[in-house]
Structure 1
Amino acid sequence: MLDALLEVSVVDGWFPIALSVLAVLLLLYLLGRDRTGGWVMTAIIILIVGGLIGGAALWLCANFLDLFGGPVADAAWLWAPLASGAILLAIWNLWRSRWWRKLIAILAIPVFAVTAAVGVNAAYGIDTTIGAMLGISTADPIDIPDPDPAETNDPAEPLYATWKPPADLPAHGETGLVPGGIPNTNSGFDARPAQLYLPPAALVADAPRLPLVIMMMGQPGDPDPQFIAKVLDEHAAAHDGLAPIALVVDQLGDPTADPMCLDTDLGKVESYVMQDVVPWAREHLDVLRSAASWTVAGYSNGGGCAAYFGAKYPEVFGNILAVSPVEYAGAEHPQDTLRDVFGGDQAAYDAVKPANIMAAKAPYPDSTAVFTAGENDPAYVASATALTDAATAAGMAASRFLVPGADHGVSALLGGLDHGFDVLYPRLGLVAP
């Protein structure tokens, strides 16, 4: 019963509609406190003042306190004033009113707040269920086929040339939690459970070794595989079930925190990815071994992490797919990061910026990098452009793509992943060059 509630959609379907209708009915009731002209004028002033308070609070949180760790959707600038105005009206209804009006006004306050939160969330489209909004996963553990320990070398020919899909090839891949989680033995980083996507070709008897993608989502966000699974399932459907295995890991620990994918006092995220996740994947997943078959991918905060790991560890990750990436760790508040994380050491801070790593390690003889952003997301277009230029200058086969009509939400994520795998499929040996 609880799982069914947590899996209710908050971006479409009955729940957001019912919530909006309830909010409107409550607002109409609160507006109907009195029919005199004086009350009508008072209510209008209350709504305007409340809207200004909500807009100002959002501006402070987004631009001064940087509480959201990234851009704020346009919808937030509508929902925050609406909710704030309605809440102030509810508070005003507590004054000199009958007990039932007081009760309805008290109940209306959380309804207005939740309605606004659902509306803003729907604009991003990343957290699609009640559980996702609350940070509660309802995913079940996935059954991972044991790799053949005798297969230590990659095949000489690419998969597209040798793969013959069996008659029982599933139409879709599967997603789920990594059973038992990925141990954090070396890092001690308290990551949330990783999740896995297995494409159709990984679900058949005598499955081939496949390429691997290690992906990280945004902040705030969860290690949710549904988006990369959707894109890879579509690519698999067009290529006889072939797609990379995708391992979605948590680089945050806490969705409100940003350890910046480094080893600092905020957490040893770099050690977690490189010393815990990478060895676990090699041991437990039936994946190809060469760096050319491994991709580090990410979205937003995770996209910046992908650029960092791909730049620093080309011997592990031969491919980078950074969707709407942060340009470097702490780019949204560099002075605070310099002071709080690096103790004012500018050289140490500069040394972990992907563009500087690329320049120092150049040339990259066998690295492919794809950087994308929504065309209506100017800050992240600039970030993707800067990283593309740096990667190109360092000798990577680098490209930039702007997702038409997209901002920083789900359309940018899906469009960026889709284009990225269009570029990477020949590189991964899943389709002819």
Structure 2
Amino acid sequence: MWIIYLIAVAFTITLLVRVPDAKWFVRASIGVIAGVLLGALVYFASNLLDLFGADLPPAAGLWAAATLGGIGLAIASFKEAKPWRRVVAAIAIVVYLLAGATGINAAYGLNPTLGSVFGDVEESKVDLPNFNADNRQAPAQPLAQTWQPPANLPSAGQRGSQPIPGTTSGFVARDAGVYLPPAALVENAPALPVVITMMGYPGNPDGTIISDVLDEFAAKNNGLAPIVITADQLGAAGVQDPACADSAKYGNAETYITTDVVNWANANLNVIQDPKYWTIAGYSNGGGCAAKYGAKHPDIFKNVISISGEEFPGSEGVDAATADIYGGDTSAFEASKPINIMKAAPAGTYVGMTAIFTAGSEDPTFSAAATAVSQATEAVGISTTLFLVQGADHGGDAVSGGLTEAFEVLYPVLGLSSGS
């Protein structure tokens, strides 16, 4: 990512190095100051009006100011300039936008490459190992007690992408990220637990953070970790929010995750055929989806992880979600909320379930959401953990810290650590 920053610096120097010109200096000063002030205004207004459902980190505000200040400089450089300088100024605007987007992304720590900021995720396909489909029943004893890692156990897992078609749903999704832990990569590999996870909105099905976290757990547990699918709940464009539901406007996102992705996992991955070993997880928008799908489908998922998740899908635009997803039916929208799904469920529905809710301690909106939903899961008998990642806001630190806590809880539940 540093390359784009260096290019931006080079363009700035090119724009600034010129024969002294008082008029240009005045124009440039006005352009830069106006751009910086506009960036600051956008930052404070977005936090004051809660435009993104969570406060933007200060670094995002600094990048917005720097980006718009640079654009102001470039625009000021057009007037009374030689043709080549106008070309440089035009290109500089694009470079500043790319650098700003990269810097704001880095402030959140969610997309590891410049390509992933713009939707280019997991370029290489991961090879899926062959397995015996008749040998995937729940183990009689925890895997941690019976698994003997071979001498050639890889030191880390593999990740890449795989297309998961919307066979039943018709939903058009981007390729999913897939993580195979070290224990899945050896001959005669054991059937393993599986995690289906989703990222935020806007966002990409990029499984880098969860893969890195699970590589650390695998290193401490003889290569054992869940297989992970980072699925796309938003759709191919990646710019709409289906609110974790089926709808005529945005497609059948819910059926895609709970049917198509589940069926694909069963058909293509060496995963244990028992809901006890299946986890639905997500971050932010995806965390709201995870809470909803866990509440609706305890027959599929006995474990839920919500990392800085929404209290309910559509919470960032209630009116739009009610109109676009539920055709204006307020009752249907209310019934779709995880808390209300659990309240309406018969006694005993959630026996044997585990749920972990985390959020950054400096992320008041999503901390409150985690608290509210965790109280509801506890009320219906789900074994519940609520954890605040100290010092974290709504960015990468909250994701990695939340996932670490979540798997500390789940590893014994899934039979992957000696404490099970």
TM-score, structure 2 normalization:
0.92
What secondary structure is seen at the aligned counterpart in 1 of 2:58? Answer: coil
Q: What's 2:243 paired with? A: 260
Assess, with a 3 A threshold, how the Cα gap between structure 1 residues 405 and 91 changes in structure 2: closer, same or farther. Answer: same
CA–CA separation in structure 2 for the residues paired with 1:27 and 1:387: 53
Which runs of structure 2 are paired with 1:35-184 in the superposition (5 Å)? 36=22, 40=25, 42-57=27-42, 66=51, 71-151=55-135, 153-178=137-162, 181-184=163-166
Assess, with a 3 A threshold, how the Cα gap between structure 1 residues 50 and 403 changes in structure 2: closer, same or farther. Answer: same
Aligned mate of 1:416, from 402, 408, 413: 402
CA–CA separation in structure 1 for the residues paired with 2:122 and 2:179: 15
What secondary structure is seen at the aligned counterpart in 2 of 1:286? Answer: coil
What secondary structure is seen at the aligned counterpart in 1 of 2:155? Answer: coil
Query: For structure 1, which segment, 47-56 or 292-301, has the greater mean C-alpha deviation from structure 2 after superposition?
Result: 47-56
- Gaps in structure 1 of 5+ consecutive residues: 1-9
CA–CA separation in structure 2 for the residues paired with 1:343 and 1:337: 9
CA–CA separation in structure 1 for the residues paired with 2:19 and 2:357: 55
Decide whether the 8 Å contact of 1:26 with 1:108 is kept in 2: no
Assess, with a 3 A threshold, how the Cα gap between structure 1 residues 263 and 410 changes in structure 2: closer, same or farther. Answer: same
Write out per-residue CA displacement over residues 350-404 of structure 1, whole angstroms, 9 at most, x where no aligned residue: 1110111111225421110000111111111111111111111111111111112
Write out per-residue CA displacement over residues 174-197 of structure 1, whole angstroms, 9 at most, x where no aligned residue: 11222xx22311100001112211
Decide whether the 8 Å contact of 2:102 with 2:114 is kept in 1: no
Question: What is the deviation of 1:167?
Answer: 1.1
Question: What is the deviation of 1:62?
Answer: 7.4
Question: What is the deviation of 1:207?
Answer: 0.9
Q: What's 1:21 paired with? A: 9
Task: Quote the sequence identity (%).
Answer: 45
Residue identity opposite 1:380 in structure 2: F
What secondary structure is seen at the aligned counterpart in 1 of 2:62? Answer: helix
Decide whether the 8 Å contact of 1:131 with 1:138 is kept in 2: no
Decide whether the 8 Å contact of 1:385 with 1:400 is kept in 2: yes
Write out per-residue CA displacement over residues 271-294 of structure 1, whole angstroms, 9 at most, x where no aligned residue: 111221112212221111221111
Aligned mate of 1:426, from 398, 412, 418: 412
What secondary structure is seen at the aligned counterpart in 1 of 2:124? Answer: coil
Write out per-residue CA displacement over residues 86-114 of structure 1, whole angstroms, 9 at most, x where no aligned residue: 32232222222333433332232222222
What secondary structure is seen at the aligned counterpart in 2 of 1:316? Answer: coil
Assess, with a 3 A threshold, how the Cα gap between structure 1 residues 232 and 93 changes in structure 2: closer, same or farther. Answer: same
Question: What is the deviation of 1:327?
Answer: 1.2
Assess, with a 3 A threshold, how the Cα gap between structure 1 residues 422 and 23 changes in structure 2: closer, same or farther. Answer: farther
Q: What's 1:205 paired with? A: 187
Question: What is the deviation of 1:201?
Answer: 0.8
Q: What's 1:190 paired with? A: 172
Query: For structure 1, which segment, 52-61 or 184-193, has the greater mean C-alpha deviation from structure 2 after superposition?
Result: 52-61
Query: For structure 1, which segment, 192-201 or 232-241, has the greater mean C-alpha deviation from structure 2 after superposition?
Result: 192-201
Report how many aligned residue pairs link the two structures. 415
CA–CA separation in structure 2 for the residues paired with 1:346 and 1:168: 57
Residue identity opposite 2:356 in structure 1: V
Question: What is the deviation of 1:264?
Answer: 1.0
Aligned mate of 2:286, from 302, 313, 319: 302
Question: What is the deviation of 1:81?
Answer: 2.4
Q: What's 1:365 paired with? A: 351
Which runs of structure 2 are paired with 1:331-342 in the superposition (5 Å)? 331-342=315-326
Query: For structure 1, which segment, 14-23 or 270-279, has the greater mean C-alpha deviation from structure 2 after superposition?
Result: 14-23
- Gaps in structure 2 of 5+ consecutive residues: none
CA–CA separation in structure 2 for the residues paired with 1:313 and 1:87: 49
Corresponding position: 1:215 with 2:197: yes
CA–CA separation in structure 2 for the residues paired with 1:17 and 1:45: 23
CA–CA separation in structure 1 for the residues paired with 2:8 and 2:388: 34
Q: What's 2:230 paired with? A: 248
